[in-house]
Structure 1
Amino acid sequence: MERQTEKESLYNNLEGKSILEILTDINREDAKIAAAVNTCIPKINTLVIEIAKRISEGGRLFYTGAGTSGRLGIVDASECPPTFGVPHGMVIGLMAGGDSAMRKAVEFAEDDETQGWDDLKEYKIDKLDTVIGIAASGTTPYVIGALRNARQHGILTGCITCNPGSPIGKEAEFPIEVAVGPEYVTGSTRMKSGTAQKLVLNMISTAVMIKLGRVKGNKMVDMQLSNNKLVDRGTRMVMNELDINYELAKELLLKYGSVRNAVINGSN
């Protein structure tokens, strides 16, 4: 299999370029990413429909990956509870090497083809759940093993990769293959590939949460009030919705704990 993510960069003699040239070149390559993601929207749509259906019936969404890909999955999962007010166990990010690998790479952890499924089993994964494998190269054994076993057990599987026709694409029921082409620094998939994966993860989790009713209009009405900025944002949402002053809106928000509840109770 020819891996696009390992192809030679379109640029050379990087060390001889000015900083302005480097930044301009990187930006030129980054501009290609959204168009590549756009071609995958039909497949993302089908996957989101299936995920939302399962979560509405009590299922969970698991991301599994290694390195940059694993970290992106954990970041997306960790942002769902504060943004949408869902339980922490609804979207779960797992990565090769465990949580310590978030900050420091664990050597060869991604090469264990059995560990990905073992990690999923710790959560008593079942047929209402969904597993999305994330691997820019599409060849990570940790992810391949997780997807293969999940699918064999009747669990919905998807993947996000930047190499069309990759092994994880063959293991997943719903493969999302974003062909962004070679990286600016040859093989550095933390760049275009990582950005593409982040965009797709944003699309999946946001669309799922909207369909689960966690957004009203265009507002995060269930967001956690975990800092002053969010309390202020929530207060202004309540103000606008109920047409009341700031002080009363804040009082309702803090009393009822969310924009949704404040608006419901403030309307009565």
Structure 2
Amino acid sequence: MSIRVQAVDEFYPRDPRDHPPALAPDYKSSLLRAPRHALVALQHSLSEITGPVFHGEELGSLDHDLTRNYARQGSPIGERLIVHGFVRDQNGRPAANTLVEIWQANAGGRYRHRQDQYLAPIDPNFGGCGRALTDENGYYFFRTVKPGPYPWRNRANDWRPAHIHFSLSGAAYAQRLITQMYFEGDPLIAGCPIARSIQDEEQLRGLIAQLDRRTTVPFDSLAYRFDIVLRGRRATLFENRVQTPQEAS
């Protein structure tokens, strides 16, 4: 990894209407994390509009294939999947050479983590982590198994839907994105306090990967497509300063 020393344009300020409220009472841990005062928008510094540059030789040949990168004596248990899509900025431009990292539970709904005490067994052939770089078109591709749902100590009988965690580097630190991907048709999404904290249905649909029959590998793997949009560059022709919340609304 090297450091991108050429600054990119200012990024559009985030529109708070596109995000769930910081305080969502049904999501109990947000009661402790939510800020008590309005956030203040600051001008971006050089450290935010520059970022790391990753090189293909830094990744292993199986880093993108979670069905093989941890396997010891066989294949992992579970429904084999391809997860793929395009990463673009807010203006629709491909986010090339972006590091995409994923982590997930195994098919039984258990993470390979010492603090995960769910009764589902650990899969000896599944590590649950992978990474890939997008190509010049912003395209990424993973092989994995479908993660299982699992209970969590939010309220009695709360279950997390099947999901995959994503971390994306972007072209600068201000573009760094950490999110979750859900699966089309999962009935647990409707009752998940985390998912339901997103009050805009269109925004929630943007976190649900769609079954992609065109990319399915016959007799091998189903495929889901999950396109991701990072924060866009500030490309307005009329002004070159950060908008106030009143101007952005």
TM-score category (smaller protein): under 0.3
More helix by proportion, 1 or 2? 1
Decide which structure has the larger Cα Rg and report it: 1
More strand by proportion, 1 or 2? 2
> Normalising to structure 2: TM-score of the pair?
0.24
> Normalising to structure 1: TM-score of the pair?
0.23
